[in-house]
Structure 1
Amino acid sequence: MIDIAHAKQEFEKYLDEYDREDEQIRLKIVHTYGVVKYAGEIARRMDCSGEDVELAELIGLLHDIGRFEQIREFHSFEPGTMNHAVYGAELLFGEKKLIRRFVEDDRFDELIDAAIHRHSDFKLEGIHDARTLFHAKLIRDADKLDNCRVKLEESIEAMLGASAEKAGEGLISPKVWESCLRRESVVSADRRIPLDYWVSYLAQYYDINFPETCEIIDEENYITRVAERITYKEQDTREKIRILTEDLKRYLEMPAVSVKE
């Protein structure tokens, strides 16, 4: 049995080990609870069982537990500093078995471990158990949904390490734009300037798994709102952003989005 209220209480105690006044820590705390909310909402829209709703929310609560140590040690979200997903899974299921602080029932350990370990993989591959694959997809969708909110509400400086004005400068790097044209997420190593990072935040929505997630993106008008938060200085960039946002909207309307095996 999963007691999500107990898990949240323990998560709050865990957070007491970190500086809640740090902007990056605060951003990730708010993000965590946003992912919990969206994970539950997607699962309920899909008429999942109560157990799967709670499981989705628990995975959402713990998916970024590795981020807090990454921020404390490196003051960065960059994947080159730490693989936060792998670190978080090891923290929960390795020698310390921190998972037992959050849930006593060990029946779901392999599923939770896989979903957290793989939630930030460039592509989700190699999971063969149907229920595990479902939850691995669900956490990725919920993560991306709250990232829409993050991109609209949080400071550009905290996300990009550059001002909003600086983020709108320059041209999209060729490799980043090629990924967009292929309807793929952007490889981290291909991002060169703040603008590339912002474009990659949009391109990640080519990796949505469920129509229920697409519905929420459409209801909130997230694609247009995220794209328009930055003022782009170059005409070429403005045109490419227009092409990207229009194509993303078409892509998210496609029935095929719902069945990514």
Structure 2
Amino acid sequence: MIDFKKAHQAFETYLDSYNRKDDKIRLKIIHTYGVMTYSEEISRRMKLSSQDTDLAKIIALLHDIGRFEQLKRFDSFQPDTMDHAAYGVQILFEEGMIRQFIEDPSWDSVIRTAIALHSDYILRSIPHPQTQLHAKLIRDADKLDNCRVKLEEPIETLLGISPKELGHSQISPHIADAFFHNQCIESSQRVTPMDYWVSYIAYFYDINFQASRDIIHEKNYISRIIHRIPYENPETKTHMKQMEIHLKRYFGNLGTNFGTCSF
């Protein structure tokens, strides 16, 4: 049994070491609780057991615990500054912090694997079915709340430039090619600001469950994220229109009807 009151208190205590007024720290605190909400919602829609629902929530609470130290040291989300997933695994399981959040060690292997792999470019096959389930679930919940982040947080906080500057940027040809081949974007391949924005949309190719796709549809996340930016670069505007059509067609082939696109 997972005591969420205790886990929440331990998480809040951990956060006391960081500047909660910092925009990036604040963003990640809100994101953590948002991922917990989506983990519970996906679990409910999939009719998972109460045990698996609790497990999904604790994984969500801890999945980005390494981010806070990354931001404290480097003031950056970029993967070349720190592997936040690996650092999270280190402090939780190698340094023993996990016992502050959950006393029962029975689920350590599932939690550790899900956190370790939650931000990998591609999720490898995992032989253990329950571990595979939770490794996929946290990736979906993380992406769903990242949709909210991309819609609510200032572009300046996310990318360090204004929406207008972002809209003037071009998409690198290799990034567009990957997108139209239904591929997620490797972080090391991003060059321009628009490459980063496209990578946030391309992660829809890595959604694992129909329940998650249904939420994306219901909240109209694809169009809302794409249309958030004023694309003053004509070539970029054309590319984004094509990407919206392509991505909705891709989801349609998976059984999710997004209807028509308008730009």
The reply to whether residue 177 of structure 1 matches residue 176 of structure 2 is yes
- Quote the residue 2:261 is aligned against: none
- Quote the residue 1:58 is aligned against: 58
Q: Report deviation, 1:135.
A: 0.2
Q: Report deviation, 1:55.
A: 0.5
Q: Report deviation, 1:253.
A: 3.1
Matches for 1:23-172 after TM superposition, within 5 Å: 23-94=23-94, 96-172=95-171
- Quote the residue 1:9 is aligned against: 9
C-alpha separation in 1, matches of 2:173 and 2:48 = 42
Secondary structure at 2:169 match in 1: coil
Same amino acid, percent of matched pairs: 51
- Quote the residue 1:247 is aligned against: 246
C-alpha separation in 2, matches of 1:5 and 1:54 = 12
Residues 1-39 of structure 1, C-alpha deviations (whole Å, 9 max, x = no match): 111222111111111110000000000000000000000
Matching residue's letter, 1:229: R
Matching residue's letter, 2:230: T
Q: Give the unaligned 5+ runs of structure 1.
A: none
C-alpha separation in 1, matches of 2:129 and 2:252 = 25
C-alpha separation in 1, matches of 2:43 and 2:89 = 22
Secondary structure at 1:147 match in 2: helix
Residues 154-205 of structure 1, C-alpha deviations (whole Å, 9 max, x = no match): 0101100111111111220011111101101111111111111011100110
TM-score (norm 2): 0.95
Q: Report deviation, 1:98.
A: 0.5
Matching residue's letter, 2:79: P
Matching residue's letter, 2:153: E
Residues 207-246 of structure 1, C-alpha deviations (whole Å, 9 max, x = no match): 1000000000000000000001111122221111111112
User: Aligned in 2, Cα 1:14/1:46: closer, same or farther, shift over 3 Å?
Assistant: same
Contact 1:208 1:214 in 2 (8 A): yes
C-alpha separation in 2, matches of 1:180 and 1:201 = 11
TM-score (norm 1): 0.96
Residues 126-163 of structure 1, C-alpha deviations (whole Å, 9 max, x = no match): 42111100000000000000000000000101100111
Q: Report deviation, 1:256.
A: 7.8
Contact 1:214 1:253 in 2 (8 A): no
Q: Report deviation, 1:252.
A: 2.2
Deviates more, 1:32-41 or 1:233-242: 233-242
